[in-house]
Amino acid sequence: MISSDILPVFCQLTLVLTFSYAAFKKQQSIEEFIATIEVSFNTSSDIARLLSYFLVLLEVFMAFAMILAHHLLTTWIVMIALLVIFFSLSIFSVVSEKSIQCNCFGETSQMGWPHVFRNLILLLAAVYCFIVTPLVLPSLQTLMALVMSTILLGLLVSVKDLTEFLRWQ
């Protein structure tokens, strides 16, 4: 029988995979990501470059922190704050009809309702994990949560990007 603690682990692994994949894809196309920030927020190239590298490093750090220090209050505060920023930007883009480009998973696209929905799901997952501290589960249940998280990640990004990520291309 599956423990009732599977949902928090599932949410946590989904966040780990999402942030890892997003950082990996941004790093692969870092110049495009820098240009996206520069154009979308009308900043200088130096500031856009600094923000780009900072965001990639923060996403990598958050993925590791979710694995190694998921019980720390600071980890959850930073994770939720980051997701609130992403969610707010996507809402602002849709409501104001301002053209803000998203380079969320290595591809540039204009923010829209799919971005709002995806960021809301990730934000709710983080808040849920913050409220319900996940317990360490037996390996079979952890594996099941990992598989479900991978499936959800596949739904959040295109199948093409996921196959490229798994091949490290």
Secondary structure (DSSP) of 5-71: THHHHHHHHHHHHHHHHHHHHHHHTHHHHHHHHHHHHT--HHHHHHHHHHHHHHHHHHHHHHHH-TT
What's residue 47's pLDDT? 86
Query: Higher model confidence: residue 29 or residue 167?
Result: 29
Amino acid letter, residue 46: D
Say how far apart CA 111 and CA 98 lie, in whole Å. Answer: 9
Task: Judge whether 43 and 51 are in contact, CB under 8 Å.
Answer: yes
Is the confidence at residue 21, as pLDDT, over 70?
A: yes
11-32 mean pLDDT = 85
Report the b/e string of 126-158 with b at 16+ CB within 10 A: bbebbeeebeebeeebbebbbebbbebbeebbe
Report the pLDDT value the prediction gives residue 138, as an integer from 0 to 100: 43
Q: Which of 47-61, 95-109, 134-148 has the lowest mean pLDDT?
A: 134-148
Region 137-152: what's the mean pLDDT? Answer: 62
> Which pLDDT belongs to residue 122?
92
- Check if the beta carbon of residue 23 is closer than 8 Å to that of residue 103: no
pLDDT of residue 169 exceeding 50: no
pLDDT exceeding 90 applies to what percent of the chain?
A: 7
d(CA 104, CA 106): 6
Assigned token pair, 6: 């599977």
> Which of 80-94, 109-123, 131-145 shows the lowest mean pLDDT across its residues?
131-145
pLDDT exceeds cutoff 60 at 166 = no
Residues 126 and 76 sit within 8 Å (Cβ to Cβ): yes
Confidence of residue 17 (pLDDT cuts 50, 70, 90): confident
What are the tens digits of pLDDT across the range 46-98? 888 888 888 888 888 888 888 776 667 778 888 899 999 889 888 888 888 87
Q: E strand or H helix at 109, and its extent?
A: strand 109-110
Per-chain mean pLDDT for the chain: 77
Which residues fall within 8 angstroms of residue 7, CB to CB, at 6 or more apart? Answer: 128, 132
Average pLDDT over residues 41-47: 83
